[in-house]
Amino acid sequence: GAGVSQTPSNKVTEKGKYVELRCDPISGHTALYWYRQSLGQGPEFLIYFQGTGAADDSGLPNDRFFAVRPEGSVSTLKIQRTERGDSAVYLCASSLTGVFGETQYFGPGTRLLVL
């Protein structure tokens, strides 16, 4: 079966622009997570979806970041008015039910570069 997929794999944008990053989780997984990984660091949690709703968005750095998952499957991470500091790899993960301690399976990430 297919794993987690993310598009685009790379995105270059200019400061101030709007970007959308897409995640397609493993089929049947109800839980979906977004992480951000800066160079030389481990992934940092951004937001967690259980089904269609954002169950925990405590990791979003500010209100320029927003994510949706309207049908409980594909999710889109949206960044408004991008800044150079937003440059990072954005990782998506999914797990079967979202129960505590469940293994999360990661996609290949989207590498975002803000010029």
DSSP helix/strand/coil, 110? strand
Under the binding rule (CB under 8 A), the answer on residue 5 touching another protein is: no
DSSP class of residue 71 equals: T
Under the binding rule (CB under 8 A), the answer on residue 98 touching another protein is: yes
Site for another protein in 9-68 (CB under 8 A): 33, 40-45, 48, 55-56, 58-59
Angle (CA) 5 101 88, round 5°: 40
Write the CB contacts of 56 (distance below 8 Å, at least 6 apart in sequence): 47, 48
State in angstroms the smallest separation of the CB of 99 from another protein: 11
Write out the residues near another protein by the rule CB under 8 A: 33, 40-45, 48, 55-56, 58-59, 89, 91, 93, 98, 100-101, 103-109, 111
